[in-house]
Amino acid sequence: MGRIKAKPEVCMGCHLCEVWCAVAHSKSKHIIKAFLYEEDKPLPRLVVEEKLPLTFALQCRHCAEPDCVTACISGALSKDPETGRVVHDPNQCVGCYSCVLTCPYGSIFINPRKREIIKCDLCAGLDTFYCVSHCPNEALVYEDC
């Protein structure tokens, strides 16, 4: 089990982590095709907070005891005991957004087009963490807990 950790002392606020996160969750996994040609434009599962002089990427912490899972009335959010990931099942989600309100880090977002939540899934099913591997300053690192 692990999580992605931000290092604000080296983050320059370039937002490339957001761009590559969106690409990772696109159909094509190709930066040009994802933004120019896909009908359903991909959205990032993290956001860069800019409170100058500090900037940092904010994404799901995959908490040991996640408040969002407890608050979820439909069981759409669950904690995977093997990987430690907080997993979202969009087919079970009723769109009440109680998880959005409960997350102490503000890292669960609403997709305005589909009116459903989106959150970091630690690039489930992919070979690499796109935000970590494409950060030019190594301001994001994956750490085992």
- Render pLDDT for 60-106 as a digit per residue (tens, 0 to 9): 999 999 999 999 999 999 999 999 999 999 999 999 999 999 999 99
**What pLDDT, on a 0 to 100 scale, did the predictor assign at position 144?**
84
**What pLDDT, on a 0 to 100 scale, did the predictor assign at position 145?**
72
Domain locations in the chain as residue ranges: 1-60+127-144, 61-119
Write out the CATH class of domain 1-60+127-144: alpha beta
**What pLDDT, on a 0 to 100 scale, did the predictor assign at position 38?**
95
Enter the tokens of residue 129.
């963490």
Domain 61-119 has CATH 2.40.70.10: no
- Longest CA–CA span in the chain (Å) reads 41
For the full predicted model, state whether its pTM sits above 0.85. Answer: yes
